[in-house]
């Protein structure tokens, strides 16, 4: 228990560091050698206090054009991995260090995407139903809209929807200009 309380300040410090590192593209780099050295010193302190070896989480800057650098993604992954390791070793009886674990984020993202797709599909279906009433039976436009309506349930994204519109327009003999007039 005493070891846990000695490690807690470092654990919190590391979480603070991670919260300040912006998510960046794959090629973003950190050139601040003071930051990199300080991070590695914190790991040395953690090794001394815990009696464990966390050397794998140290950053190994690469010399490029007379400057040391580390990829931001490398820094984020090592930092996140170390925090998760400390959580598993010392703090698993407490709430997870991240506001939500990755699987939760992915699940929420998938649900939001599905909700958006369903909402988009309903709006499109409503628009198609409205447009169908505007054209005479047997017209190319009404035939087009009726065919689109039958295939609408198989559409999973915007690209598939546009592809459906173009394919059905071609089948019934509509030009792009005529297609555009339908949805104005």
Yes or no: say if 83 and 76 are a contact pair by the CB < 8 Å rule: no
Question: What DSSP character marks residue 184?
Answer: -
**pLDDT bracket for residue 122 (50, 70, 90):** confident
Rounded distance between C-alpha atoms, residue 177 and residue 148, angstroms = 17
Instruction: Give the ranges where the chain is alpha helix by DSSP (H).
Output: 2-20, 33-50, 72-86, 102-132, 140-151, 158-172, 176-182
Residue with tokens 């309380």: 5
Q: Which has the minimum average pLDDT: 48-57, 111-120, 172-181?
A: 111-120
Residue 117 confidence (pLDDT): 66
Rounded distance between C-alpha atoms, residue 79 and residue 75, angstroms = 6
Mean pLDDT of 166-181: 91
Residue 18 confidence (pLDDT): 81
- Across the chain, what does the average pLDDT equal? 80
Which neighbouring-strand residues pair with 69?
62
Give the pTM. Answer: 0.51
Q: Answer yes or no: is pLDDT of 98 > 70.
A: no
Residue with tokens 């993202």: 109
Q: Answer yes or no: is pLDDT of 105 > 60.
A: no
Rounded distance between C-alpha atoms, residue 175 and residue 48, angstroms = 74
Distances (CA, A) of 39 to 17, 36, 84: 9, 5, 16
Q: Answer yes or no: is pLDDT of 6 > 60.
A: yes
Residue 171 confidence (pLDDT): 92
Give the three-state DSSP class for 160: helix
**pLDDT bracket for residue 46 (50, 70, 90):** very high
CB atoms within 10 A of CB 165: 20
**pLDDT bracket for residue 121 (50, 70, 90):** confident
Percent with pLDDT over 70 in the chain: 82
Q: Which residue has the higher pLDDT, 35 or 150?
A: 150
Sign of CA dihedral 119, 120, 123, 129: negative
Rounded distance between C-alpha atoms, residue 29 and residue 52, angstroms = 29
Could you tell me the residue ranges of all domains in the chain?
Answer: 2-99, 103-182
Q: Which has the minimum average pLDDT: 37-51, 63-77, 162-176?
A: 63-77
């Amino acid at each position: 228990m005493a070891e846990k309380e000695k490690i807690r300040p470092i654990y919190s410090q590391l979480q603070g560091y991670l919260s300040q590192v912006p998510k960046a593209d794959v090629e973003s780099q950190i050139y601040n050698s003071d930051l990199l050295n300080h991070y590695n010193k914190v790991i040395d302190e953690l090794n001394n206090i815990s009696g464990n070896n966390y050397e794998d989480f140290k950053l190994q800057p690469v010399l490029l054009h007379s400057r040391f650098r580390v990829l931001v993604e490398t820094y984020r992954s090592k930092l996140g991995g170390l925090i998760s390791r400390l959580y598993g070793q010392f703090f698993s009886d407490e709430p997870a260090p991240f506001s939500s674990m990755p699987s939760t984020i992915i699940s929420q993202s998938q649900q939001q995407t599905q909700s958006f797709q369903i909402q988009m599909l309903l709006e499109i279906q409503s628009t198609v139903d409205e447009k169908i009433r505007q054209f005479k039976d047997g017209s190319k436009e009404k035939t087009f809209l009726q065919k689109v309506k039958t295939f609408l349930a198989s559409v999973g994204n915007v690209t598939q929807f546009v592809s459906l519109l173009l394919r059905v327009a071609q089948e019934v003999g509509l030009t792009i200009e005529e297609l555009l007039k339908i949805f104005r």
